[in-house]
Chain A
Amino acid sequence: MSATSLPVRAGPTGPSFRQRIGKATPYLLLAPGILWLLIFFILPTFQMFLTSVSTGSLDNGFKLTFSGAAYVTSLTKFGPQFLNSLLYGGMATLLTFAIGFPVAYTIAFRGGRWKNFLLFIVIAPFFTSFLIRTISWKVLLLDDGPVLSFLRDTLHLLPPDASVIGTPIAVIAGITYNFLPFMILPLYVALEKIDPRLIEAANDLYASRAGAFRRVTIPLALPGIFAGTILTFIPALGDYVNATLLGGPQTQMIGNVIQSRFLLLGDYPVAAALSFILMAAILVAVSVYARALGTEQLTG
């Protein structure tokens, strides 16, 4: 076959032109998208850093002074909000894992012919707006809402002045809800790939079921655990919608501060510094976490 086609391909002008194009092809394919990311993802990060070490205001313009004042303000004044983000984001990530792992495990190993239907329900929340789902939680958790009236007036489990909206519990519940599918899906993908014969082999070799779970299932699920926790924790850290709609003045997260400094107060240097600190902290945390779990397994 190739013998007959070779002469056709090796025409007088053919090979050199085609080879040259062939070498450039991957770069030509990459160029537009990569340029877009460089100009609208990497460049803005530099601009944000420059803004964070500038002084000035929106009206008078910013001057690059390499002043660290914005960083000093960020680190000294907004400790509570950073702490809230870490606490709520961390709690929500633990909760999504505690809820998501049994669900992913059940769908992967016990789903049977219901598997696709169950996965469909897991992603169903994505078919409505993130904002509307959070508003729905507000409707549910309001003082006169169905959840509180039932627990307070029907079951008398709560005191008459109990309320959830405005407390950290409401914010954590909202974040947990909104990011649960991001935990379940990668866990499911990792668990689904596990060959059940490996677990049977462990049982045949006298591992107890708990032992097989701990020493076979969990290590094989690690890439999913990594992806799920990252996909939940990172957006949770930067979230401010749940804190705004479900929380109160005491539950402000760092996202609330960044949002109001940028969009309401126009205090760009401090807002940029806060945003930059958040990004740097996350990059460090993710690389430490990746190393702790063993990077080779995760990226390969």
Chain B
Amino acid sequence: MTAVSQPLNPTAAATTRRPPRRFLHALDHWFLPGFTVVAIGYLLVPIVVMIIFSFNDYQGKFNFVWHGFTLQGWFHPFDWPGLPDAIKTSLFIAFLSTIGSTILGTFIGLALTRYSFKGRGAINGLIFLPMATPEIVMGSSLLTLFVNSGLQGGMLNGIVPKGVLFPLGFTTILIAHIMFNISYVVVTVKARIAGFDRRLEEAAMDLGADELTTFWKVTFPLIFPGVLAAALLAFSLSIDDFIITSFVSGTTNTFPIWAYSIIKNALPVQINVVGSMVFLGAVLIVGLSNIRQARGNRA
């Protein structure tokens, strides 16, 4: 093809199409990479600001203006009323909701990819809906459910024991986090199972393994990377959630709720320090797992 078109092109096309070609060439070679570098800088700017301001020797209540370098914030990272409790709650909720949503979501993912059954379309729709609903709608509808569970005529009134769903608190936050995480776990796990060779399971069964043994010795190890990725995603979504949590938290504080409530009156350096710690910790974990994976691939 190229051999045929080569002699034709330089004479015919070069004269007529030269200016746009040169323009497109410049676009491709200089503009796109340059633009990408600038855009990536834009993505990183607030993170860099967060880390720099965690070393700020700020005056007054608000850590907004640079006054000089200090390590005070890093020496006292949790030194603010309510902060240690908020971090503890955030970690507990993230840990428990990750376990809950990963189990429930992996089950659904397995059912959707490995079995044929009636109502698959409806199930897929139900999984998609929470991801296509704004957080504020999910948060506010959960709030009406929880509040009404204790009121006459409420939907769960009389079914759920009083005090479980209302007053709002740890339990309601956990319920909400499991709910919004399930869909993300299903989607992540499904993507992994889709490339799965079912003949491996059949081989195990032919060799006399029963269904449970096959699952634990063959299926689970193969889908484990997907399950792990889903769990990490669920953990990070849970620990960062603000909008839904703000509707169902009552007087319980998670870290984002605590930070939001405090910034009206003060912006302590501890917010930057904790944010930087989480960021650097996450980068370290991802970096290490990438290095391990690269080694594994080479070996």
Residues of A within 8 A of B211 (CB): 18
Total contacts A to B, CB within 8 angstroms? 268
A138 to B263, CA, bound (A): 12
A124 engages B140 (CB within 8 Å): no
Given contacts A32-B107, A209-B24, contact A62 B153 (CB under 8 A): yes
Assess whether A47 is in contact with B155, with CB atoms less than 8 Å apart: yes
A34 and B126 contact, CB distance less than 8 A: yes
Contact of A30 among B1, B108, B175 (CB under 8 A): B108
A47 vs B200: C-alpha distance in the bound complex, in angstroms?
A: 47
Q: Does A210 contact B (CB under 8 A)?
A: yes
B168 CB to nearest chain A CB (Å): 11
Q: Is there an interface contact between A263 and B246, defined as CB atoms closer than 8 Å? A: yes
Bound CA–CA A135/B260 (angstroms)? 10
Check if A128 sits within 8 Å of B49, measured CB to CB: no
Pick the contact of B259 from A44, A132, A282 — CB < 8 Å? A132
Is A125's beta carbon under 8 Å from chain B?
yes
Q: Which of A18, A44, A132 contacts B271 (CB 8 A)?
A: A132
Q: B229 in the interface, Cβ–Cβ < 8 Å?
A: no
A238 pairs with B32, CB closer than 8 A: no
A168–B156 Cα gap in the complex (Å)? 42
Secondary structure dominating the interface of A: helix
Chain B residues, CB < 8 A from A219: none
Question: Quick check: A204 and B5 within 8 Å, CB to CB?
Answer: yes
Docked CA distance A278–B141 (Å): 12
CB contacts (< 8 Å) of B272 on chain A: these are: 132
- In angstroms, Cα B21 to Cα A33, docked, is 55
* Count of chain A residues near B, Cβ 8 A: 98
Which residues in B have their C-beta under 8 angstroms from that of A134?
Answer: 46
Contact of A135 with B179 in the complex, beta carbons under 8 Å = no
Q: Which A residue's beta carbon lies closest to that of B154?
A: A47
How far, in angstroms, from A269 to B87 measured CA to CA in the complex? 34
Answer yes or no: A5 CB below 8 A from chain B CBs: yes
Measured in the bound complex, the distance between the Cα atoms of B137 and A258 in whole Å is 9
Select one of A127, A132, A133, A263 contacting B283, CB under 8 A: A127
Residues from chain B with Cβ under 8 Å of A286 in the complex: 132
Query: Does B178 sit within 8 A of A, measured CB to CB?
Result: yes
Give me the interface of A with B, judged by CB distance under 8 Å. 1-2, 5, 8-9, 18, 25-27, 29-30, 32-34, 36-38, 40-48, 50-51, 58, 61-64, 99-100, 102-103, 105-107, 110, 116, 118, 120-122, 124-140, 142, 144-145, 177, 180-181, 204, 206, 208-210, 230, 234-235, 237-241, 245, 255, 258-259, 262-263, 268, 271-272, 275-276, 278-279, 282-283, 286
Residues of B participating in the A interface, judged by any CB pair closer than 8 Å: 1-2, 5, 17, 20-21, 24, 31-33, 35-36, 39-40, 42-47, 49-50, 53, 63-65, 103-105, 107-108, 110-111, 114-117, 123, 126-127, 129-130, 132-138, 140-145, 147-148, 151-156, 175-176, 178-179, 182-183, 186, 205-208, 211, 236, 240, 242-243, 246-247, 255-256, 259-260, 263, 267, 271-272, 275-276, 278-279, 282-283, 286, 290
Can you name 7 extra interface pairs (CB under 8 A) apart from A32-B107, A64-B153?
A25-B115, A33-B108, A44-B142, A102-B32, A131-B259, A208-B20, A268-B144
What are 26 A-B pairs with beta-carbon distances under 8 A?
Answer: A5-B205, A30-B108, A33-B104, A33-B108, A36-B104, A36-B179, A37-B130, A37-B182, A40-B175, A41-B126, A42-B126, A44-B141, A62-B153, A99-B39, A102-B35, A106-B33, A107-B36, A118-B36, A132-B272, A204-B2, A234-B134, A241-B260, A245-B263, A272-B141, A275-B140, A282-B133
